[in-house]
Amino acid sequence: MSGTEFDRTVDVVVLGLGDAGAVAAVTAHDAGAQVLVLEKQTAERHRPNSRYAAGFFLVPTDVDAACRYLAASYAVSGEDAVVEPELIRTWAVETAANPAWLTAHGGEYSVLDLHGEHDTLPDHGSVTVHRVLPSERAARWPGCPLFGLLRSLVDDRGIEVRFGTAATGLITGPDGGVRGVRVDDGGGRAQRIGARRGVVLAVGGFEGDPGMQRQFLPVPRAWFYGSQDNTGDGIRMAQQVGAELWHMNVWPGHFVARFPGNGYSGGTGIDLWGTGRFGPDPDRAANPGAIFVDGAGQRFLAEPGRQHAAHLELLGMDAQRLTHPRIPTWWIFDERRFDKGPLVPTYSGPAGPVQDYTWSADNVAELERGWIHGAPDPSSLAELCGLDPTALTESVRRYNASCAAGHDEHLGRAASTLVPLDGRRFFAVPLYPGGSHTVGGPRRDARARVLAVGGDPVLNLYSAGELGSIHGLLYPAGGASLAECMAFGRIAGAAAAADRACAS
């Protein structure tokens, strides 16, 4: 296919400007390639998930042990699972190299006392969590300091970014290899952009596509607070050129709140993890109490559960009654938690789908909107929530008895978090399965190549980031996605720049 059949031709086309796309673009550029980045969002409303992450990134301290830990996360009960040793080792080696890469590119970080989230799996301590530190350079773009740094690296190199330009399909040659991209510039004008060396898909997942969620996720609906512009474009483009999909039925979930109407863009979620829900303060007396109950008003897990796996507790269906009894789950607390501060995390700005709602500092506005239910006692609160008053009252009584005894005989909750619910007023918020992003997409190998059905690579096509992530059933630890974005962004960018198969 000659270059005259394209409106424009460059060496490498990167689709998407989040962390993965930025790293791929920088790496390809530094390898000598002419790079063009195409971003679906306009410059004015450019809000990839990367921009609003917390800035944590996972770092293996022992590559062999980290490989065992990640492999164990795919199958937790001895069942068969697809484990690719070369890919897993590449993940461990390259994520372990992220701190050095970050330092070499002007970034700084601190080491946190956090490890693999799933401490019942082998070698969970072999991964640590670091946090990128804010810098003057990164501050040009508010939000996650890692994204700010990566964005500055793209701009400092003069890498061309075309905002408001959505890719609509991949262009292939006679051998099936990818030769370019069809795009819509936002004004209804279609163009054909040629890629002499390769195309990198870094366009995110499908958290903004309810139809794709219903097709693939094992729940009637998940509610995501990530970018609603992530509508599965990369998945569909990859499928059109024969790519195999994987990890479509899993995601790193949370319990999230959703508030349809009332001035809020319903249909997406608000993250309610952290912010003192279950007592981060060393002084136990200062901790607020809280429990989760299902539709029957019963506790069902040792609160708060595992951050990125507790949502799995919500997926079970009652086949007799044909209901999902834990959707919604009710978060029950008293005025100590209500008065402690915002119910949402505030470390990366406002709440909602990519931070489009500013939560009040005292939770009063949300109480007045009806997003939070309040009542003088558990029985009255239950009536507001449609729960059995006797059941909820008994659940609170039994929980308080466990607090007095210092031991949760019912569910084994950590004694350090057993703070009674004995305030003058009680509150409830309905929670749903959801999270920040999906991980399913085209399957990739250790060279970040997109694989076709049958296992052969789709020539000249690469992927990085949450689109076809390496993560399977269990998300290994906070910061795993940012670590993967950097690691496979480098791999994809270097591979695409070195690919001469379609240069003629």
Quick one: pLDDT at residue 352?
Answer: 54
**pTM of the predicted model, to two decimals?**
0.92
Alpha carbon distances (Å) from 345 to 109, 252, 349, 350, 367: 21, 17, 8, 8, 17
Task: Return per-residue pLDDT of the chain as tens, 504 residues.
Answer: 444 589 999 999 999 999 999 999 999 999 999 999 999 999 998 989 998 888 999 999 999 999 999 999 988 766 666 678 999 999 999 999 999 999 999 999 999 999 999 999 999 999 999 999 988 888 888 788 999 999 999 999 999 999 999 999 999 999 999 999 999 977 778 999 999 999 999 999 999 999 999 999 998 888 888 888 999 999 999 999 999 999 999 999 888 888 765 434 344 456 554 434 444 344 445 578 899 999 999 999 999 888 888 889 998 888 898 889 999 999 999 999 999 888 887 655 555 555 567 788 899 999 999 999 999 999 999 999 999 999 999 999 999 999 999 999 999 999 988 999 999 999 999 999 988 899 999 999 999 999 999 999 999 999 999 999 999 999 999 999 999 999 999 999 999 999 765 544
Q: What is the pLDDT of residues 160-212, one digit of tens each?
A: 999 999 999 999 999 999 999 999 977 778 999 999 999 999 999 999 999 99
Residue 15 contacts residue 171 (beta carbons within 8 Å): no
Q: Compute the distance between CA of residue 442 and CA of residue 453 in angstroms, rounded to an integer.
A: 10
Sorted by sequence, the CB contacts under 8 Å of residue 38 that are 6+ apart come out as 13, 14, 15, 16, 161, 162, 165, 166, 167, 181, 183, 193
- One-letter amino acid at 60 equals P
**Of 144, 118, 117, nearest in space to 56 by CA:** 144
